[in-house]
Amino acid sequence: MKISDILKKEHVIKELNSCDKKNVLDELSSFLEDEGEITSKQNLLAALIGREKLGSTGIGENVAIPHAKISEIDKIITVFGRSKNGVEFESLDQKPVNFIFLVIAPENSTSQHLKALARISRLFKNPSLRESVLRTNEADQIYSILVDEDSKFI
């Protein structure tokens, strides 16, 4: 699975408006509803908040990968949002989050969902990728950076 298989160029938000976890999750859920990817922002938001109660998806190094499974979709859907100022996300390392990669999967998904989370986590371990994404000013450029870096993995 490649990032380009699960992330559309149109699903890159170059600057999030929200500055805390709940509002970021709400903003990303609204984005997916507005794009017609989901029908109920509230159902997705409830699933994401439920997942966060189990433990923060802020994995450290300024990265969060909020994720949930919902019944209304039949394929993995993602959206990437960046916050130059950072968002308080209760991350494992207590650092603010600049990179939020939301992943939603069908309710019955198992391996594809886990593969997507692993791929994203691996991608964002690279400090030069994080720096490049933070410096870039256009969503298209962010998408290109992500896809180009991902193509280096087999």
Catalytic residues: 67
Rounded-to-integer distance, Cα 78 and Cα 117, Å: 10
Q: Is 86 left (phi over 0), alpha (psi -120 to 50) or beta?
A: left
Rounded-to-integer distance, Cα 152 and Cα 154, Å: 7
- The alpha carbon torsion through 87, 34, 67, 153 (nearest 10 deg) reads -90
Query: Distance between terminal CA atoms of the chain?
Result: 9
Identify any residues that bridge with 77 across adjacent strands, giving them in sequence order.
104
DSSP-derived letter for residue 95 is: P
